Structure 1
Amino acid sequence: MQKRIGAYHENVRAIMPFYSNLHVKIDGTQEKKAIAGSIESYLLGGSSGKGSPKRIIIAGPPASGKGTQCEMIVEKFGVVHISTGDALRAEVAKGSELGQQAKGFMESGGLVPDELIINIVKERLAEPDCQERGWLLDGFPRTGVQAEALEAAGIRPSHFILLDVPDDILVERCVGRRTDPETGKIYHLKYNPPPEDPEVQGRLVHRADDTEEAMQKRIGAYHENVRAIMPFYSNLHVKIDGTQEKKVISSKIDKYLKGKMSSVDGPKRIIIAGPPGSGKRSQAECVVDKFGVVELSMMDEIRNAISNSTALGLAAKQRMDQGLLVSDDLMVRILKERLSKPDCMQQGWLLHDFPKTFSQAIMLEEAGIQPSHFFLFDVPEDILVERCVGRRKDPVTGKMYHLKYDPPPEDPEVLDRLFQRAEDTSRSVLNRMHQFQVEVSNMKFLYRGRLHLLDGTVDKDSLSSRISDILEDVGPSAAPPSLKVVIFGPPASGKSVQSTELAKKLGLVHVCTGDLLRFHIENETQVGLKARSSLASGTLLSDDVIIPLIKERMSHLDVRQRGWILDGFPRTIRQIQALKEMELDPDFFFLLEVPDAVVLERALGKRVDSQTGKIYHTSFHPPPHHLVHRLRAQTSDSREGTLRRLQTYREVEATVVSYFSCVGRRINGQRAREEISKEIEAVLARRIPLDM
């Protein structure tokens, strides 16, 4: 049995992160009818999720206002208010075994041991009123030892509130306090003065522990203890400014307990994830600059631990000296130790290079390292490859450049020493991206309550602004409805030219099947090899290949949020059905009509720059003379290739056009491209009607 129990505990730790936001824990030692009642209440929505009894701990230094806020929490949420002093006195009054033990310590003037206090608190929390209404622990645990003992006893809060008040204000609040010994009422000479009754004022007393000297000692002890407590509740606490008006503080606590605020006033715990080249580091810098959180890098923390000769650092060094990787368990322990430092506890933290695997994410959760925000950048693979393969590093300065987006200085000495890192080749980027996609699919589920999926294709400032809005709890501004457009026509009809210009003007995403296929051909993927064979024979690529390719591209956030122009798809009934399955019916369908003779003339004159991929035409768009030597005619643009493509197109044209006739317009594709663009834009603005 012991083996089975041990296996159960090991397995349940791995399972629970998947259900952390919806599970209910029920005491199985109760009578079976009581257990059944708890399960029934849970299934009817009375004891989980939004309806689950709240388990609250409120902490703060002396004179931080805990008592006032406790009264307001009890009034609003109906939880049972428990202080350890009250619980001790109640047990003594009942004459219980625990009460008798506590009485002995109290009568002798000794401190009641932590173990006994924990048992008394556990007994109190197991009573029906706490089980049904939830509970509020006031000022307990006070020490790290007590917090650890609570965890070991299975007493874990759903909410932890920390009232934060500067020391000088705490001292001012205390030294002005006066107590009426007859009524027990506490006044403050400045903030809550006593009545102007000589009899009342004559009997007020200044408690010995409300002097400035005594207060400084109490505050010092509090700070020492709270540093030990907070690592146990780093994943669920909120820090609230206790210098505000009590109604303002109460309003923020109210939001937090209702799930409408997650550490807005408290330190932010942020993980930024994304594939290579998605912009994690640059966005991390923006967040650090704006919010003052501590930026952490797993590799830097390992190096720091080794440099400082900590026990964990020495263990990491030993593995590295043996040529071994630092284990996940060791990395998580190093990170947990770092997060317990005052800067991370007070300022919050940001990780952008860890976790990289789902198992690492699980280990973080089990260690109590849980982010308040998990940002995931979504960037299509063709854009990622373009971002990465253009990177060049200067080995002298360590500076990174990009040949297109951030070109190096035109200094021959600098240009000569630049090099491309092995991880920036297209093959390496694709491999790393595919590994990332496998791992992140599970991470998205694990972090689903804290996940913010963002379009990583937008410019740096727009992405930074959206992240700031989320961290500041500002909702996104209402976006206009996104356009969905299909541009259809024979080869060389000008689809790509019109799509590119229109996408640029309207901020839409241009999804071109030709570009996607070229990307796979250049990177010699399985799709690329099949596409090369089809192009050589002039046949359409199989739907089994092209449909998944389009589905993957259309699943990205840039397409969903900004709208799209499809160029070269759909071409078959199956492809049309695939669009419907993705709920991507177009708003507009444009047919560029061009006679076969004109198509042939255009195709035969096309030339491609072998270095840049730019397309020219010997008649309509001639290249500069100095580039002529590197221009190439594509096999698919030969007479035979073009005629084969035309035949294939004409076979499907009528079917596709008929299907989209209700949203379609025929466009004369023989005119100047400026005239065609104006007509398409007029239709989109609904100045010209659809005519199919």
Structure 2
Amino acid sequence: MSTEDAKAYLSSREVPRLFECLMTGLMFHRPKDHIQYLIDCLEKVKTKSQAEITWNMFVEVRSTKTPLPPIDNGKRPPTRERPSTTETAIVTHTTNPLPPIGSNGLPNVPAIFIIGGPGSGKSSHAEQVAAKHPGWVSINLGQLLLAEIKNRSTDEKWKAVKDLVVNGELAPEEVTLELLHDILKHNTQAEGFIIQGFPRDMEQAKEFEKKISKVDAVLLLDCEENNLIDKFQRQDKSRNEKDISANTFARRIATFKEKTLPVLKYFDDAGKLFVVNGDKSEEEVQEELSYLFDTLISNLENGRIPTPPKGPRPTSTKMMARRLVTPPCTPPENSQHQTLKWPTVTYIPPPEIKVKDEGRLSHLPQAPVIFLAGGPGSGKGTQCAKVTARYHDIIHLSMGDILRKEITERGTVDDKWAMVTKLLREGDMAPVDITEELLINFMKQFPDARAFLVEGYPRDALQYENFNRNIGGHSYTILLDCDDQYLHARLVLRGDSGSERIDDNIPAIEKKLAFFAKHTLPLLKAIDDEHKLIVIDGDRDEAEVFYDIVKVIDYSLYGLQLDQEPNNKEEMGDVNEDDDGREPVEEVMVAGVASITGDNNGNPYYTAELDALDDLINVPVIFVLGGPGSGKGTQCANIVKKYGFTHLSSGDLLRDEVASGSERGKQLTEIMEKGDLVPLDIVLALMKDAMKVYAGVSKGFLIDGYPREKEQGIRFEQEVASAKFVLCFNVSDETMTKRLKDRAQYSGRVDDNDETIKKRLKTFHDVTQPVIDLYNSNGKLKMIDAEGTTDEVFEMVDKVFEEEKIPPSKDCFGKVVFVVGGPGSGKGTQCDLIVQKYGYTHLSSGDLLRAEVQSGSERGKQLTEIMQKGELVSLDTVLQLLKEAMLKKVVSSKGFLIDGYPRELEQGVRFEQEICAPQFVLYFDVSDETMTKRLLGRAETSGRADDNAETIKQRLVTFHDVTTPVIDYYTKQQKVVQVSAEKGKDEVFVEVQKVFDEVEANEAALKSSKVIFVIGGPGSGKGTQCANIVKDYGFCHLSSGDLLRDEVKSGSERGKRLNAIMEKGDLVPLEEVLQLMKNAMVSNLTKTNCFLVDGYPRELEQGLKFEKEVAPCTNVLYFDVSDETMTSRLLERGKSSGRVDDNEVTIKKRLQTFHNQTKPVIDYYKRFGKVCQISAESGIDEVYVEVKKFMETKQW
């Protein structure tokens, strides 16, 4: 069935209208059993004709008349005090409320709302009612807004408000409330207020009752949607309001249904809603409305209109008002949306795009514009970053990031941007005029761009039309098509990870999800109808998605066919110079991006080399200079540990290349044997190759002892990467000479003697001074006084990195142990003993707080004020103090003991998220009797007021209450080590030593173990070869997949947690996989210290993490097989395996992913001579012969 056939089928049966009425009823009534409710609705629909099915048929009004309370002679008391009420208060988080009516000069009179859909005539009817009742003031909020917009047309904030209003959106809540407050304040003699067109959503209703006044009654002009549309169309030709388009009117109706219906339900439940049939003639509506109004204000009790009593009431033949039917279901409870919900959306037809794209306006840059679309959480930002890192002439424009940047710079002082901040925080769109202006200004900054990649824009048809009108030249849109559950999971994880984005909160996310479904998806369908949409499956691995995006961009911008090998690099950029690039896009679409093909190497430009060079631009490069004995090597090691940089030395690279036996190594040997200098080209090539190996995983590069002359620095920055700065360790010749002579006593180096040292220092000064002058002149030189101790010098290095905004590595903290125990458990004493024996750093949050207070710093003064008030210090502050203390000691410490922490579960979770996960939790278990006895004994000498029996008892209760969840949480992760602390401190420390000795012994054993990574594509036969190696050489075979499956089968707490992750379709965190591998290796150490790690690492980061946290890699066994052979083997296996992924299309994608991810791994370990590449094309036995040849060359 084609798209048109589907549309015809749905339209002929009015399926969209049916779904709309069902969803409207569901949102209105919110029944507990939504399934049964929908079943009941469908049963009712069976008996209806298509014409009788309307959007509001399940929120219809009663046909009978419902009376108001009896009239009481029309007398109105002189005052309208606010007695206490038992009605449920509306909870709000808004601060700085306006004074209520009756105070601060506001009149103390009734307030009545008149509400109706757009075009219901509420304004004219409200004016007529007010005219009949002298002293009553009619307030038309829409007119007030338009007047204020006109009067303040030069105000940026009000320009933004205008943009929202004329496009059918709600004006910001604080703007409407401010206007209402001002108009009420200036009508102090009013008898009452008739407020029309307000409130339009629940937030406005809540804030009005909170800040201004209790609502006395709400009058609804109830009109059929078709009648409103007909009236609009009849008036359209004579309408003077040129800003009101059909799209805007449709949006206003949608806003009314989505946001105002819940308001009416709220007031109906409160007994304050009265409904007038708005589809009658104007005269009849006015008569009914006037009668209702007269009855209401003549029935005042203590200055307020009473709520009609519940239950049946006598009818009145004159009463024409109708009450909205009260639904049979239980009213919904107030919800704060604690769990993220994907909106239930029916089919929404694509909007009509009335403003067509006629090409780029002449005064703007002419580069093609590519929209990258996808739901919230689809990974658009990640992919854009990858694109711009790869294509340096493509400019990424994230509307969200630009808006957030503007907010950061201007939001707190600029009214306009304060309003935009609030809109974004609540998940609403920024005004169209603002986004357009930002987009145009951004584009003008890059007149020579090859293309603009625009993310997060346009979000609806209005923005798209405005783009066409004011910019133009949209080439095509790439949609990352993701399953709803995938988006849901990504957003929840992002929110849990401590994102600082102002719009990463559950209500805002739900709004964005709903908006995307209701507005952006229909727009994308309209773009598809223009033949400008390319859909890419976004549920896959990041690399696979990026691979497809690269295919599209390569073809559309650079003219490369999907399987075309370019003749040379100049081919890129010299083809496809169409004005807007549309024709090639259609060819790409015909080719089918969703099923992209390619050769074994993938895209000819999607190579490790190009990716690596791209990545080098995104990481800092630091040249490190210093004479012999300046200590630069030690400082480089410290920088590596704290900041995660990669340390490269040209001398080491030359020696490693010679030792490798490569062709280049042999060439270098010949040069050095002749006594010639190694050509700069070779040194640069070695540097570049080494940096490419680490590209993508390194936090930065320290180029040690380089450049030694000006030309080296200039050539490096031209051909490899630009240096962020130059770190120069300045030491006097006397100090360097003394250090080198001291070193000579144990180094055995022949060049550590007086004469040689003197020559070396002179050479250093002669060749390095010009380099120092060069980088001093361009402002890149950072001179460090390195005369002091290692720690003193590193403090200065730290300051430089801080000034350059280079953050410490998240992996720098090493071993962290949480130490938990009740008061009197002796944990403080044990921590001191651990520090003495094992070199850990002991940190206590309490000690850190007291030290900060005593320091007299600004933060210390704030802490003093907080504690004097008896308030708790925020967790953010405690974490920051801990993090700062750890960073100060991270270089010199062997690990950290975090004493008395976490005291509650949230502290532990936040510590893991923001600092690092603990290696284990040391729990000192002591009975309450023992702790009480110890504390009472301490009281005899301590003088502490809290060392008394009653206080101790309460402290122990509190300890158990807050600590039990902590222990349970880490027990499930198998991280709790429990030590009985009932005995004396020496006896307890014996048990503590066993724990730390075992940890250190296991770590040492792992570090000395032999680990072979076994890598090969699907169908390479690596599993079979691993089995042979295990049999003949006694290795332990580990597979991450098998370990995960075994853990799940075990039924352990960790297994249940892993199963839950995998059932959601999420990737198991690398930390979990590494912990499973480490545990498996430790448990097998008594049998063997040789391990085959099968199918691992799949990407370079996994390998580096394994080597850092588990054990170093001894060798890599790489089974090299052609794609044709692997495909043939897998297809043959598929005939009997029943595996759904053993089909040709899936196999091709798996092989592409394997090559893209594995090549950097192989290249990295080849650099260290660790890769044994074995051709696995032949039979099992023939391949194993080659394996044995390799195995026999080693000692296992």
Q: What's the TM-score once normalised by structure 2's chain length?
A: 0.22
| Greater RCO structure (CA 8 Å; 6+ sep) | 1
TM-score, normalised to structure 1, is: 0.35
Q: Which has the larger radius of gyration?
A: 2
